[in-house]
Chain A
Amino acid sequence: MQFTIEVGRYNPEGRYADNAIPGEPFPAPWNRSPVRRYQTYTVDLPEHAVVLDALIEIREYQDQSLAVRCACRSAICGSCAMWINGHANLACKSKLQAFTKDGKTRVESPPSMPVIRDLVCDMAPFWEKHLAVKPWLQNKQPIPPPDEEYRVPNAAMEELIQEVSCISCGACLMDCESFAVNSEFLGPQALAQAYRYTGDPRDAETKERLGQYSESGGIWDCTHCYECVAQCPKGVAPLDQILKLRKLAVDAGFTNNAGTRHADAFAESVRDSGRLNELTLMPKSIGYFNVIEQLKVLPSAFNMLRAGKLPPLIHHKIPGLKRIKAIFERVGGRFK
């Protein structure tokens, strides 16, 4: 079966084929020169072939200059995450037929990462975040003697297999909406690994971890866009792990941060008025007494005013508020 592959090429030495078509520059801060180009190849492969089969076929028999990372070909090593038709996927797990759109499949280095060459991107941002969450067991003391394991229920180990299944391919971070606008955000993979160790009954630093992850750039910087859940090829569902960490952090008393205050402001507003009071949301999240940070958002407020987007100054309660309160009572917890 014939497949047409349009490959985003990038060559720092400016070596491009004559028929390669110049593309858009990568977005800042990764807008490197020279601009990338798109080169189209046709490959003949079985109908069940995957994108990686096509790339290997091209590299081996059509164009040895195509750079692509791959090793296991079976979604275990995590090498071949790349943009396929505008979303991060493992090339070895993406069937060509399913990814053929308007007669072709477009593959390129994800714009969220610095490109090195062709489909090879610099994974340094990914690994820096991984390292930042201290992804190793801080052993609960005393460590059992050398001939004895920690005794823990199998359910506690099985609970973590979802996070351990992560193959560090980086697809989640490549498409993370929060990372796209905030390079400080630890990102889905690192936070899923953060949960993997926080949730381990053999780890002694649960509290320190939750404190660290609650800081700026941590669990509260996720915007719930679900891209990581959609892109993860191994079902790690990083967002679910981030939500678990949030609950653990709040339960452990890490509530004095913008993330918790923001969530609290939501809940309180709905409890007390039945709807969201957007006017108080921002100041409450920042903290009423944090004058310097309050002043920093003033320009945004003026912009909103000018654009007619400022929320109404008088906040109205909804009728039948009693029933809302009853829901809060029933749910229990901090807001009943």
Chain B
Amino acid sequence: MTRDHDVLVLGAGLAGMRAALEAARGGADVAIVTKVHPIRSHSSAAQGGINAAISEEDSWESHAFDTVKGSDYLADQDAVEIMAQEAPSDIIEFEHMGVIFYRGPDGKLGKRAFGGASLARTYFVGDITGQALLVTLYDQILKAGVKVYEEWFATELFMEGGACRGMVALEMITGELHLLRSKAVIVASGGLGRLYEPSTNALICTGDGYSLAYRAGAPLMDMEMVQYHPTTLAGSGFLMTEAARGEGAYLLNSEGERFMKRYAPNKMELAARDVTSRAEATEIAEGRGIDGNVLLDLRHLGPDVILKKLPQIHEMALDYLGIDMIKDPVPVRPGMHYQMGGIKTDVDGATSVPGLYAAGEVACVSVHGGNRLGANSLLDTIVFGRRSGKASAEYVKRTAASTGGEDLLASEQARLQELLQRPYTGDTPAGLRLELAVMMDKKVGLYRNEAGLREALAAIEGYKQRYARIAVGDKGRVFNQALEFVLELGYLLDCGEAIIRAALERKESRGAHTHTEHPDRNDAEWLKHVVLTHRGGREPEVSHVPVTITRWKPEVRTY
């Protein structure tokens, strides 16, 4: 069945719902398409907080500078300025919507310290900030009556005359494939953590939007910049918020030493994430780790701070490792966490494809450059979610509705039918995904080198060939998750290839991209973004875009 709207938003995390709310406010008929219920979105896993220069002693310039420095000077400074300037009012708006932000003694918003920031500017709700924002925003979506296509999985974007005019989506509960037409699409489908094993990300973070937009002609930028979070729980790889260190927790090696003093003597545990993760990896590689981990020590914070301000990580360490962080340090290690790169957009979320917008982790404005500061990702989602919602609502006013797309629906139906009929080849989507993700962590992780990246690219080629014949282990219609996983694996393969190609291109070390044969940052040659453009069956086109610099010339980066 075909349905028509002005704006379709793919994804119902913070960026998607914020975009939908703003587009609705702008008078557009908006619908959200999401493969899980909005409340299940991965925004809920953001723990520590959200940054803004709100207090009197702070300034947006300071926030912007910290962000630029954190990005290792790869972020576009015009975009960073906008984010830092608009952060206070966007956060206050969420307060007005009802988020129960922590307060200081004067009843005004209270803050905590976070990594890479020159002063405390992170606003928060315990260690469930993302969840608190997400439920509040979801309730606003309910209040506004925005239509949500819940548990609908996008299989392809609908392109007409070079512009994006909707998508084809699989309704999980019936197994029916639908054509959803619109004048604009905002891709806000989140990250790609399933490309790495281990990762802090949920099972649903499968890079859908990157691949869909890339194949529709929107270039990807900064894809080589994959963030490893310094504190992920040993074993499971679950996130232990940076707020733990923000509240004063130590990182210790096997000798009980606060080793960060040798890597970041000024900021210690609150250096930027790339710096801290590499420091941990060095400690572990030089034999001062504990079974491949270092220790996160919160004991001196006392039970009151832990139970009141960090209850969720306290519960997680207890549930999944049996460790009570009030009494014992918690083993942690660097783990894949966030993709700084993504669909290249301008500051209004517009891609180079007419009618196609992107916001949140899947987008690259670029405000995070080579390394995102903690508590800037929630901010990115609400600032650029809002801006893309507003811009799309304006765009649809001057755009005519499409009446086509039936042929795309038919070809998608045929494609899925063919997938369901394939015979078993010995490969399962889960097995292939695990091989891919372990390979990415090993060869395209914290440290990279030319030979490893070449091997990774060859490996991806092999996986793609196996993927082209992979069978779906469930032939039913209703809630066929096996079919969904096969399609998701295709998205992940596209993302993996893009990351590897971008990493091969950048012959220097900057931010999260550490190239062991080019260990230094090289501003003379590499103060620019790597951009990939999909070209059908051929290799993608690799090009460069200069970094926008407004105020802050690159400097040596120390913490």
Q: Which of A78, A118, A200 contacts B39 (CB 8 A)?
A: A78
Check if A154 sits within 8 Å of B103, measured CB to CB.
yes
Tell me which residues across on chain A come within 8 A of B262, comparing CB atoms: none
Interface digits, A115-148 against B, CB 8 Å rule (1 contact, 0 not)?
0111010110001000100011101000110111
B308 cross-chain contacts in A, Cβ below 8 A: 158
**Residue B125 contacts which of A60, A67, A71, A164 (CB distance < 8 angstroms)?**
A164
Most buried by A among B100, B143, B203, B485: B100
B457 within 8 A of A: no
Contact, CB under 8 Å: B101 / A157: yes
Tell which of A13, A76, A93, A164 has the most Cβ of chain B within 10 Å: A76
Residues of A within 8 A of B477 (CB): 13
Cβ < 8 Å to A, chain B residues 1-49: 36-37, 39-42, 44-45
Q: How far is the CB of B552 from chain A (nearest CB, A)?
A: 25
Chain B residue with minimal CB distance to A94?
B319
Do A72 and B42 touch (CB < 8 A)?
yes
Contact A71 B107 (CB under 8 A): no
Report chain B residues within 8 Å CB of A203: 98
Check B108–A116 contact: CB distance below 8 A: no
Task: Tell whether B491 is near chain A: CB-to-CB under 8 Å.
Answer: no
Which of B85-93, B367-375, B493-501, B520-528 lies at the interface?
A: B85-93
Task: Indicate if the CB atoms of A117 and B478 lie closer than 8 Å.
Answer: yes
In the bound complex, how far is the Cα of B100 from the Cα of A137, in angstroms? 11
Contact of A152 among B107, B143, B474 (CB under 8 A): B107
- Among B44, B96, B311, B472, the residue within 8 A (CB) of A144 is B96
CA A12 to CA B103, docked complex, whole Å: 51
Q: How far is the CA of A153 from the CA of B107 in the complex (A)?
A: 5
B44/A72 in contact, CB under 8 A: yes
| CB atoms of B39 and A161 under 8 A apart | no
B548 interface residue, CB < 8 Å from A? no
- Check A149 for interface membership: any CB of B closer than 8 A: yes
B97, B132, B238, B431: the one contacting A74 at CB < 8 Å is B238
Contacts of B236 in A (CB 8 A): 73-74
Segment with Cβ contacts to A, from B134-142, B342-350, B459-467: B134-142
In the complex, which of the residues A12, A71, A76, A160 contacts B478, with contact meaning CB atoms closer than 8 Å? A12
B142 pairs with A135, CB closer than 8 A: yes
Q: Helix, strand, loop or mixed for chain A's interface?
A: loop
Determine if B89 and A61 form an interchain contact, defined as CB atoms under 8 angstroms apart.
Answer: no
**Docked pose: A149 CA to B106 CA in angstroms:** 12
Report yes or no: B316 in contact with A161, Cβ–Cβ below 8 A: no
Kindly state whether residue A309 has any CB partner on chain B within 8 Å: no
Q: Is B249 an interface residue (CB 8 A)?
A: no
Most buried by A among B102, B103, B126: B103
Is B186 on the interface with A (CB-CB < 8 A)? no
Q: In chain A, what residue has the closest Cβ to B430?
A: A60
- Chain B residue numbers with a CB within 8 Å of A48 are 320, 322
Give the complex CA separation of A11 and B202 in angstroms. 26
The answer to whether the Cβ of A151 comes within 8 Å of any Cβ in the partner chain is: yes
Q: Which of B45, B107, B475, B478 contacts A116, CB < 8 Å? A: B478
When the two chains form their complex, are residues B135 and A164 in contact, meaning their CB atoms are under 8 A apart? yes
B110 within 8 A of A: yes
Q: Does A39 contact B (CB under 8 A)?
A: no
Q: How many residues of B contact A (CB 8 A)?
A: 66
Q: Is the CB of A78 within 8 A of B142?
A: no
B173 within 8 A of A: yes
Which residues of chain B from 72 to 96 have any CB-CB distance to chain A below 8 Å in the complex? 88-89, 92-93, 95-96
Residues of A within 8 A of B96 (CB): 137, 139, 143-144, 149-150
**Residues 394 to 445 of chain B near chain A (Cβ within 8 Å):** 428-431
With an 8 A cutoff between CB atoms, is A165 at the interface? yes
Q: Chain B contacts of A65 at CB under 8 A?
A: 473-474, 476, 482
Chain A residues 47 to 75 lying within 8 A of chain B, measured CB to CB, are 48, 59-61, 63-65, 67-75
User: Using a Cβ–Cβ cut-off of 8 Å, how many residues does chain A contribute to the interface with B?
Assistant: 61
Residues of chain B within 8 A (CB-CB) of A149 are 92, 95-96, 101, 108-109
The distance from the CB of B363 to the nearest CB of chain A, in whole angstroms, is 21
Q: Which residues of B contact A157 (CB under 8 A)?
A: 100-103, 125
A165-B479 contact in complex given A76-B45, A116-B173, A147-B89, C-beta closer than 8 Å: no
Q: Is B216 in contact with chain A by the CB < 8 A criterion? A: no
Whether B481 and A59, one on each chain, are in contact in the complex, defined by CB atoms closer than 8 angstroms, is yes
Residue of A nearest to B471 (CB): A64
Q: Does A197 contact B (CB under 8 A)?
A: yes
Most buried by B among A120, A157, A197: A157
Task: Report the separation of the CA atoms of residues A127 and B138 in the bound assembly, to the nearest whole angstrom.
Answer: 12
Does the CB pair A67–B109 fall under 8 Å? no
The yes or no answer to A206 lying at the interface (CB within 8 A) is: no
Check if B45 sits within 8 Å of A77, measured CB to CB. Answer: yes
Residue numbers in B under 8 Å from A13 (CB-CB): 476-478
Residues in chain A near residue B238, CB distance under 8 A: 73-74
Tell me the complex Cα distance, A63–B428, Å.
Answer: 11
Within 8 Å of chain A (Cβ to Cβ): is B104? yes
Task: Decide: A148 and B92 in contact? CB cutoff 8 A.
Answer: yes
The chain B residue sitting closest to A70, CB to CB, is: B203
CB distance from A166 to the nearest CB of B (A): 8
| Given known A-B contacts A70-B203, A167-B44, A160 and B100 have beta carbons under 8 A apart | yes
Among B131, B132, B203, B479, the residue within 8 A (CB) of A117 is: B479
Q: Of all chain A residues, which has the CB nearest B132? A: A164
Smallest beta-carbon distance A235→chain B, Å: 9
B204 within 8 A of A: yes
* Residue on A nearest B47 in the bound complex, by CB: A76
Which of A11, A72, A139 has the most chain B CB atoms closer than 10 A to its own CB? A72
Contacting residue for B131 out of A60, A150, A154, A167, CB 8 A: A167
Q: Does A161 contact B125, Cβ atoms closer than 8 Å?
A: yes
Q: Does A168 contact B (CB under 8 A)?
A: yes
User: How close is A158's CB to chain B, nearest CB, in angstroms?
Assistant: 7
| Beta-carbon contact of B97 and A71 below 8 Å | no
Residues in B with CB closer than 8 Å to A148 are: 92
A277 close to B (CB within 8 Å)? no
**A136 contacts B92, CB within 8 Å?**
no
Q: Report the bound CA distance from A167 to B320 in whole Å.
A: 19
- List 12 contacting pairs A-B, 8 Å CB cutoff, sorted by A: A48-B320, A60-B431, A64-B473, A70-B203, A71-B42, A73-B202, A74-B316, A77-B40, A79-B36, A147-B92, A161-B126, A200-B100
Interface residues of A (CB under 8 A from B): 11-13, 15, 48, 59-61, 63-65, 67-79, 93, 116-118, 120, 122-123, 127, 131, 135-137, 139, 143-144, 146-154, 157-158, 160-161, 164-168, 197, 200, 202-203
Q: Which 9 pairs from chain A and chain B are nearest by CB?
A: A64-B473, A60-B430, A137-B98, A154-B103, A151-B107, A65-B474, A64-B482, A71-B202, A157-B100
**Which residues of B are interface residues toward A (Cβ below 8 A)?**
36-37, 39-42, 44-45, 88-89, 92-93, 95-98, 100-110, 125-126, 128, 131-132, 135, 139-140, 142-143, 173, 202-204, 236, 238, 308, 311-312, 315-316, 319-320, 322, 428-431, 472-479, 481-482, 485
Contacts A65-B482, A136-B142, A157-B102 known; list 11 others, CB within 8 Å. A13-B478, A63-B473, A72-B44, A75-B319, A77-B45, A78-B39, A79-B37, A154-B104, A164-B131, A165-B128, A167-B44
